[in-house]
Structure 1
Amino acid sequence: MQAHLRLDPSTWWALTPASGARARWWAGVDGGGTRTRARLMDLEGRVLGEGEAGASALGQGAAQAWRHVLAAVEAAAQGVPGFLLAECALGLGLSGTGRAGPLADFVASCPNVAAAALTSDGLAAVLGAHGGQPGGFLIAGTGSVAEAIDAQGQRHQVGGWGWQLGDDGGGAWLGREALRHAHAALDGRVPTGPLATAVLAACGTARDSLLSWSLAAGQAELASLAPLVFEHAAQDATAAQLLTAAARALDDLASALPPVPLALGGSIAERLQDRLAPATRARLVAPQGDAMDGALWLAKHSTV
């Protein structure tokens, strides 16, 4: 039997709700800037239901975060006889825990539940992927980040610096590099191949229109160009080179983590898997569960 992993105290927060009731249910909650998902389980480990609500990123306000967390849990409990929030222990994996002010507001406004423990959404994903054992998670979707928990229960994070200056190898990064290539093609500095043609068709074939699109583009707009890089990689040398560069960026994230088993997440990481270095691929394992499973693990092991 595997030993119980003991998380470093700095990686999670035990909240102090007023209920004092004995827990009859566990709820694992995964929340971010778009939606909140909850999975409800009884003390025998049976999954009773799942629910969803709006965003619960802490930076959007503690009141909203708690409203959507509790709404998702209540939705998961639909049809569960006798369910009471006051008798439910919560494990919470939420985005925004790195900001001291929003974190303090959220912790201070914990409602009447049996118990509650909070960690980041990334660490919840690691716990879920590895069943509460040491391991890492390499995520590349719109952005990119790698997180791990080592054998001592300490958290390690690499990347995740945001699309403006970082998130190398993610979708917004790929889109930005493709857009820079289109700029060079329109200038005549490089040949206009299939990738540049596709980007110009999407963003503007004249200098003024391309410049306007580029200046207004945010993370989502840049990431919308990433599929073009994959689409044209077989016919366009620049597109192929960008995918290789993105894979090397993800290799760098992985190599900076402790040498633990590694799960992949996000559409970009999954599409780049075959381009990753042999050393990275040798560490890959299939995830055992998701961030809600990781939050449930936290509820079971950190709130009782």
Structure 2
Amino acid sequence: MRQQIDVVAIDGGGSGTRLRAIGVDGTTLAEAASGPSSLTLGVEQAWSNVASGLDALASATGADLTTARLVCGFAGGRSPERQAQFRAMGGQSCADIVIVTDGFASLLGAHGGRPGVVLAVGTGVAAYALGQDGRVSSASAWGFSIGDEGSGAWIGRRAVSLYSRHLDGRLPDASTLFDALRSRVGDEFNAIQTWLSAANATRFATLAPVVIDAAAAGDGVATRIMAAATEELELAIGAIDDGGPVSLLGGLGPVFAPRFSARLAARLTPPRGNALDGLALMARRGWREEVVPELERQDG
């Protein structure tokens, strides 16, 4: 049966994209997944993977998406230039495109549009807060090239950096982590350089589970990497924290929850929803920017 899609919520990050087709009555009609659509990895790649997801939704619903609104939360979505490029690529495929960051979408979803803090940690990382005064603030959302401290990509890059030190004698510690990295990135200079030549945030993040497993097994190097990552994440939360509830989202959220300090752990609250829920909330209220109007915020 042919269905009418009013909104497609799109959560795009460095590891993958999730899409939700929402009908005119607000019900979920279908969901789909596709490849990475972080705008920092390239707008063309982002649109290609979003388009693939939209095709899947069209097939599942039989709907004409040219009348639908796309409400997107992208990693790297703050840049006006990238937003404009994405809209130029997708403008003929839908009725409207709204773009915010995936961190803001997660913030709205986690607390239902009410005050609180969210830490979204996966391939990248971003901490967002909605204060009691309605002000939205963020920390550690600068992207992989200079930031994303504590993220999966940061953990993987840190591991390879220490591994390179080990290979040339600057870090003589024996480590099961280094043993595991040999089969993944190479065991000599040229092989590692070849691996690095194609390494971006997504590829570095594939090494995070190796570090996490090694730390769980008691490896000293991996344990120190995870401790440093935890410290960075707590620092990001602390920079914008006003004492409200704190929710963790993203694939690595469950990994870090038991690592946080007792003071922070006591404030952790299960999220009410995810980034797709936050984007659906934006669509219902007609929001187009990373701003929470005072009246709407109080209405919850």
Q: Do these two structures clear the TM 0.5 threshold for a shared fold by scoring above it?
A: yes
Aligned-pair identity in percent equals 31
282-291 vs 60-69, greater mean Cα deviation: 60-69
Task: Verify the 8 A CA contact 2:118 2:247 in the aligned structure 1.
Answer: yes
Question: 2:185 matched to 1:203?
Answer: yes
Amino acid at match of 1:295: L
Task: Verify the 8 A CA contact 1:94 1:118 in the aligned structure 2.
Answer: yes
Amino acid at match of 1:240: T
Amino acid at match of 2:79: R
Number of residue pairs aligned between Structure 1 and Structure 2: 275
1:287 to 265, 271, 296: 271
1:219 to 201, 211, 216: 201
1:48 Cα deviation from its structure 2 partner: 3.7
List gaps (5 residues or longer) in structure 1.
Answer: 1-23
1:99 Cα deviation from its structure 2 partner: 2.0
The aligned counterpart of 2:226 is 243
**Which deviations, in whole Å up to 9, do the C-alpha atoms of 1:68-121 show, x marking residues without a partner?**
68656645744xxxx7768766644345442223434666848775x8754333
Task: Verify the 8 A CA contact 1:182 1:197 in the aligned structure 2.
Answer: no
Task: Verify the 8 A CA contact 1:135 1:149 in the aligned structure 2.
Answer: yes
1:52 Cα deviation from its structure 2 partner: 5.3
Whole-angstrom CA distance in 2 between matches of 1:252 and 1:176 = 20
Whole-angstrom CA distance in 2 between matches of 1:56 and 1:201 = 28
Which secondary structure does the structure 1 equivalent of 2:7 belong to? strand
Amino acid at match of 2:143: G
RMSD after superposition: 3.5
Whole-angstrom CA distance in 1 between matches of 2:241 and 2:71 = 25
Q: Give the TM-score taking structure 1 as reference length.
A: 0.74
CA separation of 1:118 and 1:160: change in aligned 2, threshold 3 A: closer
Q: Give the TM-score taking structure 2 as reference length.
A: 0.74
CA separation of 1:88 and 1:153: change in aligned 2, threshold 3 A: farther
Which secondary structure does the structure 1 equivalent of 2:145 belong to? coil
1:301 to 272, 285, 289: 285
Task: Verify the 8 A CA contact 2:117 2:247 in the aligned structure 1.
Answer: yes
Which secondary structure does the structure 2 equivalent of 1:192 belong to? coil
1:253 Cα deviation from its structure 2 partner: 0.9
Which secondary structure does the structure 1 equivalent of 2:252 belong to? helix
Task: Verify the 8 A CA contact 2:78 2:100 in the aligned structure 1.
Answer: no
Whole-angstrom CA distance in 2 between matches of 1:101 and 1:237 = 43
Amino acid at match of 1:209: A
Higher helix share: 2
Which secondary structure does the structure 2 equivalent of 1:163 belong to? coil
List gaps (5 residues or longer) in structure 2.
Answer: 288-300
Whole-angstrom CA distance in 1 between matches of 2:70 and 2:163 = 49
Larger-Rg structure? 1
1:155 Cα deviation from its structure 2 partner: 2.1
